[in-house]
Amino acid sequence: MFADLLNQLFSYSLHDFLLFSPEVYWRLVTNYLNAHQLIGADVAIATSIAVYLLVKHRYPRLVLCFIALLWLWLGWQFYLTHYQTINHHAIYLGFICLLQVALLVALAIKENYFQNKAANAKKITVGLIISTMLTMPILAVSSGLPWSAGMAGLMPIPTVILSLFFTSQLASRWRYLLYPLPILITVVELLTLDLLTWQLIT
């Protein structure tokens, strides 16, 4: 009997834990993004302002609070309000986002300056941020999704990328506390996308 139980346990794979079909997931994402197109445009403008503040080394606390707002929207609207309707595990991802918000706000209170990096390093970082803002929406449209799928705050992967670029400019060693949760979100999202792709193929 124990051997049967072991055989049954080892017969499971990651694909058995996907609780919804690819069609249901992408319909939910498309409806969510279409309903928040205006937020995507607002995020683009706000991100441009954050880049300006980063370049000028002014108001870094505002930049950190802006990133915290992106994570708040992602956790509250995407995970806890929409994604949870088809995947009850999404509540944990929503709480991870809210924990990231708390870390960002705590660091914004504690720190008040970014790293004084060399001009070239700063230009590279700003270039990467702007490239991300331009290329992610283009990739989303080329994949058949609304352009807002490439906007930080609305979807997980753009939020992680933009957040890591900004927080890498912090001078404090405490910035390393801001990396594990976005990396965990990325791993979960990549696994989910891989499983959805596998289901479409089979």
What average pLDDT does range 27-35 have in this prediction? 91
Looking at residue 15, its pLDDT comes to 62
Alpha-carbon distance of 50 to 48, in angstroms, equals 5
Q: Which residue has the higher pLDDT, 174 or 91?
A: 91
pLDDT cut 90: percent of the chain above it: 33
Q: What is the pLDDT of residue 127?
A: 84
Treating both helix axes as pointing N-terminal to C-terminal, what angle do 156-167 and 180-201 enclose, rounded to 10 degrees? 150
pLDDT digits (tens, 9 = 90+) for 89-143: 899 999 999 999 999 999 888 876 666 666 667 778 888 888 888 898 899 889 8
Structure tokens at 153: 């705050």
For the chain, which residues make up each domain, given as ranges? 22-201
Look at residue 170 and give its three-state secondary structure: strand
Q: pLDDT at residue 80 above 80?
A: yes
What's the pLDDT tens digit per position in 34-49? 888 888 888 888 888 8
**Residue-averaged pLDDT of the chain:** 84
Contact indicator for 187, 125 with CB cutoff of 8 Å: no
Place of tokens 């791993």: 187
Which pLDDT does position 130 carry in this prediction?
Answer: 85
Residue 182 has pLDDT above 90, yes or no: yes
**Helix or strand or coil: residue 146?**
coil
| pLDDT on residue 81 | 94
pTM (global) more than 0.75: yes
pLDDT greater than 80 at residue 66? yes
DSSP state, 173? G
Query: 3-state DSSP call for residue 21?
Result: coil
Name the helix (H) or strand (E) containing 54.
helix 37-56
Place of tokens 């069609």: 23
What confidence score (pLDDT) does residue 183 get? 94
